[in-house]
Amino acid sequence: MPKNSPAFHFPEDLLDAQAALLETRAVCEEYAQSLPWSAEPMPGWEGEKQLHSGFRSGKADSPGYTDEQAAEVARFRARLVELSATVSTHPYWATLDEGVVAARMALKHAHEQPAEA
């Protein structure tokens, strides 16, 4: 996996933090898909039948998150905040006189760059 953008020479620790941020976000989103729709126990609902399609929206009752699920969500959120702070406050950004926004955008996609020959 390539680790840098042609226009910018990001430090390895910044690239690693960005990669960890992307990976953690993906794992967190996947985990969230397995959770009940509400963190707290909530009754389900059924919407009105749609006029032309007959579709009826709704949700089943939500049991809420278990203590373990809530702890895992909190762990993911804390890690995402930590990694976001690491990336956004990295000393590298202070070394740029201009093009900081372009560099930040390039960092988000640095892992997608084709391998250098």
**What's the pTM?**
0.81
The alpha carbon of 37 is separated from its chain's Cα centroid by a whole number of angstroms, namely: 18
pLDDT of residue 27: 98
Burial degree of 84 (CB within 10 A; 0-12, 13-18, 19+): middle
pLDDT along the chain (117 residues), means of 10: 67 97 98 97 91 89 97 98 98 94 94 64
The residue assigned the tokens 């997608």 is 112
pLDDT of residue 48: 87
pLDDT of residue 2: 45
Give dist(CA 115, CA 51) in Å, integer. Answer: 53
pLDDT of residue 116: 57
The residue assigned the tokens 């909530």 is 42
Angle of helix 100-108 relative to helix 12-33, nearest 10 degrees, comes to: 50
